[in-house]
């Protein structure tokens, strides 16, 4: 076949006579990618020993390991109690509400809630029975009674009858004297504000001593046990005058707004201003009661009249705003009883009684308590021993 000349002009061209070998040689760079793809192999499950022993090459394959490391720690901690779980939930809610709940959980255990109103005629033992409501142990421990004294008789009573606890009775005068050329002796708006400031101070004292009790298991010395708001009838007059002078601008002072003309200018709904001012003190006292402080609101009695203007005998009612009793837990009326002999003549013996007429804290039937007896020898003070512990239960017939 060499002589035929069929292959004489043939020239060898590279890559043209062995296609399989050329494809393999030409694809060398392309095949570097599959060899460099360790991803499928690296995603395979590898024994933990290999990951630990061969740490350097494994670092790039464990980007999520540092994030997962702290996860096993919570199970290692002690299992929180149900209370702790609830408390941790408070971190995700309103902070003021969370603090309110924490304080309620850690509050001082309150045995009795005393928010008592006392109404009676003058000199019937209204203030005396409250100022006598400290036990000997409480006196030694520094318990105090704050006497907000609108009637200005607290210092006299303290000096005459309570020499044994002079340091425990704190008499506070809420009146602000009006200096200068004013026609009225007292500055009513300033007196209103000073009274509210005293009640706010009492609330701060209550909170501080409750926190101390939660930490130490006992009250500090001194501490506030009782607040006496003595003179709700004066407070009613103060709030009404402030309404006329400050809120409605009916006059320059208490005299200018005391006329009938000024009163007739007050619309029906404007009287709510007086009620709002008045109830400010009642709400503050109610909060003190919720915090474990015993609170008493004292007032005089006012007579009732018929359509002709005649006084109705035995129809007296407390001289406070009619909504006051809605804030009270207990209501006490005081009364005097004059002794007579068989001929109906007065013997000179007068007895003062306290009658419990309402008590939300007990369903037990109540009677009256003999507070004192005045006679020719001077008299005897008995007081109401139950007030020392906030116990108002008195069986009928006990005197």
pLDDT at 29: 47
Give residue-wise pLDDT tens across range 372-388.
Answer: 999 988 889 999 999 99
Residue 259, both tokens: 């006329």
Tell me 123's DSSP state: T
Q: Judging by beta carbons within 10 Å of its beta carbon (0-12, 13-18, 19+), is residue 270 exposed, middle or buried?
A: middle
Residue 374, both tokens: 């005045």
Residue 284 phi/psi, 5-degree rounding, is -65, -40
Residue 395 CA to residue 398 CA, distance in Å, equals: 6
Give residue-wise pLDDT tens across range 214-251.
Answer: 899 999 999 999 999 999 999 999 999 999 888 887 77
* 313 or 260: which leads in pLDDT: 313
- Mean pLDDT of all residues belonging to the chain: 80
Residue 190 CA to residue 184 CA, distance in Å, equals: 13
- Give me the mean pLDDT over the 79-83 stretch: 48
| Cα dihedral across residues 97, 98, 100, 104: positive or negative | positive
Give residue-wise pLDDT tens across range 57-72.
Answer: 544 445 555 545 444 4
Low-confidence winner among 81-85, 94-98, 117-121, 179-183 (lowest mean pLDDT): 81-85
Q: Are strands 346-359 and 330-340 parallel, antiparallel or unpaired?
A: antiparallel
Contact 252, 181 (CB under 8 A): no
Q: Which residues pair with 346 in a beta bridge?
A: 340
pLDDT at 12: 54
How many residues are given for the chain?
399
Give residue-wise pLDDT tens across range 31-47.
Answer: 444 555 555 554 455 55
pLDDT at 75: 44
* 294 or 75: which leads in pLDDT: 294
Which residue in this structure is represented by tokens 């009256």? 368
Q: Say yes or no to pLDDT of 365 above 90.
A: no
Residue 131 CA to residue 116 CA, distance in Å, equals: 14
Contact 373, 379 (CB under 8 A): yes
**Kind and range of the H or E run holding 254:** none
Tell me 167's DSSP state: G
Residue 254 CA to residue 260 CA, distance in Å, equals: 13
State the alpha helices, DSSP H only, in 17-148: 19-26, 28-35, 39-42, 48-53, 55-58, 65-68, 73-76, 82-89, 95-105, 126-131, 136-141
Residue 245 CA to residue 113 CA, distance in Å, equals: 37
Contact 143, 222 (CB under 8 A): yes
pLDDT at 48: 46
Distances (CA, A) of 150 to 58, 60, 98, 234, 246: 84, 82, 39, 7, 21
Tally of helices (H runs) and strands (E runs) in the chain: 16, 10
Residue 47 CA to residue 363 CA, distance in Å, equals: 76
* 334 or 43: which leads in pLDDT: 334
Residue 133 CA to residue 391 CA, distance in Å, equals: 11
Residue-range domains of the chain with CATH? 113-332 (3.40.50)
């Amino acid at each position: 076949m060499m002589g035929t000349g069929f292959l004489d002009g043939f020239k060898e061209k590279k890559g043209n006579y062995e296609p399989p070998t050329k494809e393999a040689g030409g694809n060398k760079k392309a095949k570097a990618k599959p060899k460099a793809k360790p991803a499928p192999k690296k995603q395979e499950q590898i024994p933990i020993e290999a990951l630990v022993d061969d740490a350097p090459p494994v670092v790039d394959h464990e980007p999520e390991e540092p994030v997962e490391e702290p996860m096993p720690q919570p199970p290692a901690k002690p299992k929180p109690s149900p209370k702790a779980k609830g408390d941790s939930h408070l971190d995700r809610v309103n902070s003021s509400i969370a603090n309110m709940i924490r304080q309620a959980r850690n509050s001082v255990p309150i045995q009795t809630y005393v928010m008592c109103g006392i109404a009676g005629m003058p000199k019937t033992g209204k203030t005396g029975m409250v100022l006598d409501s400290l036990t000997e142990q409480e006196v030694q421990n520094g318990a105090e009674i704050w006497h907000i004294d609108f009637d200005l008789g607290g210092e006299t009573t303290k000096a005459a009858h309570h020499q044994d606890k002079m340091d425990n009775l704190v008499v506070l005068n809420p009146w602000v004297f009006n200096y200068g050329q004013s026609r009225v002796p007292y500055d009513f708006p300033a007196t209103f504000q000073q009274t509210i400031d005293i009640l706010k101070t009492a609330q701060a004292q209550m909170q501080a001593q409750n926190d101390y009790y939660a930490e130490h298991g006992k009250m500090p010395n001194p501490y506030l046990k009782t607040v006496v708001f003595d003179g709700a009838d004066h407070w009613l007059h103060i709030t009404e005058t402030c309404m006329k002078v400050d809120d409605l601008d009916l006059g320059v002072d208490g005299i200018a707004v005391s006329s009938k003309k000024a009163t007739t200018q007050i619309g029906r709904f404007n009287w709510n201003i007086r009620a709002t001012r008045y109830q400010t003190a009642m709400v503050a006292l109610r909060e003190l009661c919720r915090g474990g402080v015993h609170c008493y609101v004292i007032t005089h009695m006012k007579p009732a009249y018929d359509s002709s203007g005649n006084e109705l005998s035995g129809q007296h009612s407390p001289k406070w705003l009619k909504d006051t009793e809605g804030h009270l837990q207990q209501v006490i009326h005081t009364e005097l009883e004059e002794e007579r002999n068989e001929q109906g003549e007065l013997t000179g013996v007068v007895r003062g009684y306290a009658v419990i007429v309402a008590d939300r804290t007990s369903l037990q039937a109540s009677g009256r308590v003999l507070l004192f007896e005045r006679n020719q020898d001077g008299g005897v003070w008995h007081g109401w021993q139950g007030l020392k512990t906030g116990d108002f239960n008195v069986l009928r017939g006990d005197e």
